[in-house]
Amino acid sequence: MGVADEGRVLDFVRGVVLAEDAAHCVGDFAPPAYEAWRRSGQAEESGYIFFLYSLEPSANCRNEGCTAQNVARKNVAASAPYRPGWNMGHNSCGDRQWPSAANIGHNRRVYTTRDDRLMAPRSTEALVEPALLTWARSSAGLSVEEAAHSIQTKPAKVAAWEVGDSRPSMSQLRRMAATYKRLLSDFYLPQPPDEEPLPHDFRRLPGEVALRYSRALRYHLRQAWQRRALAIDLAAELELEMPVLTRDILQDGEPEEIGAKVRDLLRVPLSLQKTWRDPRKSYNSWRARIEDAGALVFQVAGVMPKEILGFSIKERPLPVIAVNRKLAPNGRTFTLLHELAHVLLDESAICDIDEDESRPPEEQHKEVLCNAIAAAALVPREALLAEDLVTAHPANLGEWADNELDSLARTFSVSTHVILRRLLTEGRTTKAFYAASHDRWRTMLEQPKGGADSDDKFRRNMPQEVVSDLGRRFTSLILDSYENSRMSLSDVSRFLGIRAEGVQKVREIMLRS
């Protein structure tokens, strides 16, 4: 947004105008543009006045005291008029006078009101309701102390803002918006909005740790709800009929039977699955079929696997499944099917996909069931027991060599942990051998490999990340709305989380795949 545009927005909301230094705005609103705007009369009518300056002293300044530290900078808008009320100092650049360095300095912001009195930026208060500040902080999962640390202020100040004893400045409000992961406009709502409930927490760790939601996790949960609502609205505008994921296939039956129903629902015969030898291809293929069945599948970035592996939102149409992208592709595939089982059981969940006896019996049963359904869908019993490696393995020998497990895992494009889980279910390994493998698997989650955001030494492909994180269905709805002139390029850029110039590359990726 250029300075003029931002100034208009702030003037509408606050009755003040923001003037940014040229280091941030000269590309959008250079002095020639200022001149044309000022001469049009709009500046006088609105009371706006802007100062655009660079980081060097004026080359034409005849005052020896004119330095980069204590005077207005070069490239001030060429004929900005002197206005009564400005604190004019000793500075004289060329044959014009400018506001003194006490009011315009390096990287400082200047506000003017309609009566032209210059106000120091530090005194410009954000006129927001205290309840909005409390809501934004608490919904981000931050204590007053944590918020103060991120905003770079004292806890007493944050507490004072939230009870209305004082107000934050506009710059402090911007830092709060970034810290709480909220839009600046959210703070100008008339009252805190009602938000969707958090999914049921099925995570392994008991007590306080199990109920702790990090700022990043809360953000992704909020984003999932918002994207779902947006997708439903866009589908209605485009007159697209969204498939509705059935609720009734998991009502009765054993996990093996239900797993077969899941495969039928997703139209994945074993012959097709065995062509997905590459783990990433397998994950993307299962994901595409789940989206085709009527779900949105997102990937979660910035959350460690030890906190969550995935979560789900059950509401129809377009229930949501989210998978931690720090997992290796095979791990994402199992998480995907596990969360699908929760959705088919008509429940929202936050999971780490562990089976811990410290859980209440009902929760323990549901997690065991969802694990069993996911494993049965990925590795059908008959297919596993028919494999040569399994038939040749002595039934009374519970241990398996790594190369045997690797071979079976490649056949079904799953992790060795899933293979061992199935072998345990079929009585072809021991609980002790499985437990040892399970412990190693949990340790590997602390050092994930293969996740899209786990290795910073590679250059990021942002258009590809957009498609990977948002999924084909959601991305297609955004692009279709744009192509049907129902959405601006600016909106597309915002909803996809990519610069406008990257939107075309996203379209190309979608067309290729």
What does the alpha-carbon distance between residue 200 and residue 70 come to, in Å, rounded to a whole number? 58
Residue tagged 């002197």 (tokens) = 82
CB 396 within 8 A of CB 354: no
- The fold of the 130-188 domain, in CATH, is 434 Repressor (Amino-terminal Domain) (1.10.260)
In sequence order, the β-bridge partners of residue 200 are 349
Number of helical (H) and strand (E) elements in the chain, helices listed first: 23, 8
Which residue numbers in the chain have pLDDT < 70?
Answer: 1-123, 203-212, 250-252, 353-363, 441-458
Query: Distance between CA atoms of 445 and 237, rounded to whole angstroms?
Result: 42
Measure the CA dihedral 404/410/413/419, to 10°: 0
Residue 337 to residue 294: CA distance in whole angstroms: 14
Q: How far apart are CA 131 and CA 187, in angstroms?
A: 9
CB-CB neighbours of 397 under 10 Å: 11
Question: If DSSP codes are grouped into helix, strand and coil, which group holds residue 200?
Answer: strand
Q: Which of these, 297, 311, 298, 316, lies nearest to 243 by C-alpha position?
A: 316
User: CA 344 to CA 338: how far, in whole Å?
Assistant: 10
Please give the pLDDT value at position 213.
83
C-beta atoms surrounding 84 within 10 Å? 7
In the chain, domain spans: 1-124, 130-188, 220-445, 462-512
CA dihedral 145, 149, 154, 160 (to 10 degrees): -60
Please enumerate in sequence order all residues whose Cβ is within 8 A of that of 394, keeping only pairs 6 or more positions apart, or say none.
none
- Assess contact for 415 and 375: CB atoms under 8 A: no
∠ CA 129-179-463, nearest 5°, is 125
* Alpha helix (H) residue ranges in 181-278: 207-210, 215-237, 255-266, 270-273
What integer pLDDT is reported at residue 248 of this predicted model? 72
Q: What CA–CA distance (Å, rounded) separates 292 from 443?
A: 34
pLDDT for position 230: 97
User: Rounded CA gap, 131 and 188, in Å?
Assistant: 11
Instruction: Answer yes or no: are the C-beta atoms of 100 and 51 closer than 8 Å.
Output: no
Contact 137, 144 (CB under 8 A): yes
Matching residue, tokens 């206005």: 83
CA 346 to chain centre: 25
pLDDT of residue 200: 78
Alpha-carbon distance 311 to 336, whole Å?
9
Can you tell me the distance from the alpha carbon of 151 to that of 128, in angstroms, rounded to the nearest whole number? 17
Q: Looking at residue 59, what is its pLDDT? A: 39
* Cis ω for the linkage preceding 317 (within 30 of 0): yes
Determine how β-strand 17-19 pairs with β-strand 110-112.
Answer: antiparallel
3-state secondary structure of 263: helix
Pairwise CA distance, residues 435 & 357, whole Å:
14
Classified as helix, coil or strand, 492 is helix
Which pLDDT does position 145 carry in this prediction? 96
The helix/strand/coil state of 216 is: helix
Residue pair 293/243 in contact by the 8 Å Cβ criterion: yes
Residue 243 CA to residue 318 CA, distance in Å, equals 8
Q: Measured between alpha carbons, how far apart are the two ends of the chain, in Å?
A: 34
Query: Which pLDDT does position 365 carry in this prediction?
Result: 81
- Enclosing H/E stretch for 499: none
H, E, C per residue of 427-475: CCCCHHHHHHHHHHHHHHHCCCCCCCCCCCCCCCCHHHHHHHHHHHHHH
